[in-house]
Amino acid sequence: MPTVKQQVLELIHAYQAAVFRAVNLLNAKSAQDPGFQRHQESPGTWAGYLDAQQRVRYAFHGTGCLVLMPGCEVDFDYAKEGGCTGIDAWFLLNFLQDNPAVQAQHPLLTSDKEVEQGLRALAKEGVLARHVYSAHDGRYFVTADLGTLHPPTVTLRLPDQDGAS
């Protein structure tokens, strides 16, 4: 039987895979529809769909984006240093709670207590690092990724100034 720590590490990998998939979808939408991120569904709500079938929904918020894909919901923040590889405990817990299939694969993670415990244990072992960019940064980073950090870049394009898209 896996430990809480092992399940948290598996959860991190599942979360990062979902974030990377969401970023790829956002980038693809931006390539075909530059400036789509400026679309306001209602005043102050930048949201819409990433596909013609309207199965993949996005909603920008603050410094991040919530993406609702069939069978998977993922929320993340963009980092001011670029990319989206930071692991925020709150987003990680929401990913677990909002996705029943993910929850079923991690039966030991029943509350924020177990997730936080696993994150601290992984940081203590050096698998995760904190405060990589700033002492005020509460995100965790997978240390194996730090030396060869090649996260998917977020390329939300704007329309050309001359009006051509």
Enumerate residues 6+ apart whose C-beta is below 8 A from 44: none
What is the distance between the alpha carbons of residues 58 and 72, in angstroms, rounded to a whole number?
12
Whether 163 is covered by a domain: the verdict is no
DSSP-derived 3-state class of residue 122:
helix
Whether 107 is covered by a domain: the verdict is yes
pLDDT for the residue numbered 129: 87
Whether 109 is covered by a domain: the verdict is yes
Residue-range definition of the domain harbouring residue 28? 4-34+50-146
**pTM of the predicted model, to two decimals?**
0.86
Whether 158 is covered by a domain: the verdict is no
- Identify whether the C-beta of residue 165 lies closer than 8 Å to the C-beta of residue 159: yes
Whether 101 is covered by a domain: the verdict is yes
Task: Work out the percent of the chain whose per-residue pLDDT is above 70.
Answer: 83
pLDDT for the residue numbered 1: 74
Whether 78 is covered by a domain: the verdict is yes
Over range 56-65, report the average pLDDT. 92
Whether 44 is covered by a domain: the verdict is no
What is the distance between the alpha carbons of residues 118 and 15, in angstroms, rounded to a whole number?
15
- How many domains in the chain? 1
Name the packing angle between helices 112-124 and 89-98 (round to 10°): 130
Whether 41 is covered by a domain: the verdict is no
DSSP-derived 3-state class of residue 126:
coil
- Identify whether the C-beta of residue 21 lies closer than 8 Å to the C-beta of residue 13: no
Give 136's pLDDT tier (boundaries 50, 70, 90).
confident
